[in-house]
Homo-oligomer: A and B are copies of this chain.
């Protein structure tokens, strides 16, 4: 078992390469601080469709197709697509996959899906089961709001700890070789629940999972903050990022100089009224595929730890008085 390191981490010996990415975002994300890093910015968050749900699915489809095209491949070259999203029964992903001729593995990890799909994709590549695979995910503000909270028409007031679901989709194409960033380690998270029940404070609910996975990644690999140029959690927002930073210090890891949260970076919270920051599967997906990947290609970041974070609630679980479990999966990417 040379591929297992510690209790939760595996080494991806063949270092599958991320040979292309596509990020697509809505108009609001396209006005945020990272706008220049996204490949496609929609002018209309319905993307010409008749519902927000269909718009989300079309964004995911576009991201996947565009990333395959960028890699100079055809759909028939892709052996598997690993994808999931927030909508009930991950319909964004399955309806997008319906229009592709690619074997489909549906995943659900809530907002942790970008690193969940990248984790599984990397292991399957390294296992020798594929030449090319796609890892992808999406979310849509308006579809998520009406599914998880209230229809937008209600005009509900937002709490200061609330986060703004990113309208966006990200897709990565993995190949066996090439001069591109490659996946070196994967740390699969455990479900952690520290008793947060407030669906308007998901950053706090997910932070313990992020801390647990990052800490375990360090312990398993013997690495520490100095081994990375960047650690990027998925969508904890300002509130969750501060909690994570503090909790990691209690374990002896000071990550402040290299730690960002994708949800905090994607919006100018003050100007854009996004409270604690962005969230949703699409949040870490577009920041990873856009800002981080492009900066890796340009040499700004060489060793990155991507840690997408998911809150594993449903409206039913919340109505039945359950607290919010969280999960985080970490993927180490080096170039």
**Stretch from A37-45, A223-231, A267-275, A311-319 at the B interface:** A311-319
Of the candidate stretches A25-33, A87-95, A154-162, the one touching chain B is: A87-95
Instruction: Determine if A293 is an interface residue (Cβ-Cβ < 8 Å).
Output: no
Q: Flag whether A36 is at the interface (Cβ < 8 A).
A: no
Stoichiometry, as copies per complex, reads: 2
Interface residue A74 (Cβ < 8 Å from any Cβ of B): no
Does chain B have a CB within 8 A of A288? no
Encoded as 1 (CB less than 8 Å from any B CB) or 0, chain A from 308 to 334 comes to 000011111100101001010000000
A110 contacts partner chain B, Cβ-Cβ < 8 Å: yes
Query: Inside 8 A of A312's CB, which chain B residues have their CB?
Result: 89-91, 94-95, 98, 106
What's the nearest-Cβ distance from chain B to residue A8, in Å?
5
**Chain B neighbourhood of A95, CB < 8 A:** 312, 317, 322, 325
Check if B98 sits within 8 Å of A53, measured CB to CB: no
Q: Is A107 an interface residue (CB 8 A)?
A: yes
From the candidates B102, B124, B188, B193, name the one contacting A103 in the complex (CB within 8 A).
B188
Contact A129 B191 (CB under 8 A): no
Q: Mark A10-23, 1 if CB is under 8 A from B, else 0.
A: 10000000000000
Residues in B neighbouring A327, C-beta threshold 8 A:
94, 104, 106
CB closest chain-B residue, reference A148: B89
A189 CB within 8 Å of chain B? yes
Contact B320 A131 (CB under 8 A): no
- Contact at B129–A88, with CB atoms within 8 Å? no
Contacts of A190 in B (CB 8 A): 97, 100-104
Cβ-defined partner of A189 (8 Å) among B86, B87, B103: B103
Q: How far is the CB of A122 from chain B (nearest CB, A)?
A: 10
Q: Cβ of A127 and Cβ of B130 under 8 Å apart?
A: no
Cα-based distance from A106 to B103 in the complex (angstroms): 18
How far does the alpha carbon of A312 sit from the alpha carbon of B104 in the complex, in Å?
Answer: 12
Per-residue CB proximity of A241-281 to B under 8 Å, as 1/0?
00000000000000000000000000000000000000000
* 17 examples of A-B residue contacts, CB within 8 angstroms: A1-B131, A4-B79, A54-B320, A88-B314, A88-B315, A89-B313, A91-B322, A94-B312, A95-B317, A97-B191, A98-B191, A100-B191, A104-B189, A105-B109, A106-B327, A120-B124, A126-B129
Closest 5 CB pairs of A and B: A127-B127, A103-B188, A94-B312, A89-B314, A98-B191
Q: Interface of A with B (CB < 8 Å)?
A: 1-4, 7-8, 10, 50-51, 53-54, 76, 79-80, 84, 86-91, 94-95, 97-98, 100-110, 116, 119-120, 123-124, 126-131, 147, 188-193, 312-317, 320, 322, 325, 327
Known: A87-B314, A89-B108. 18 other contacts (CB 8 A): A84-B108, A87-B316, A88-B89, A88-B315, A90-B312, A91-B312, A91-B314, A91-B322, A98-B191, A98-B325, A101-B190, A103-B189, A104-B327, A105-B116, A106-B108, A123-B123, A126-B127, A127-B128
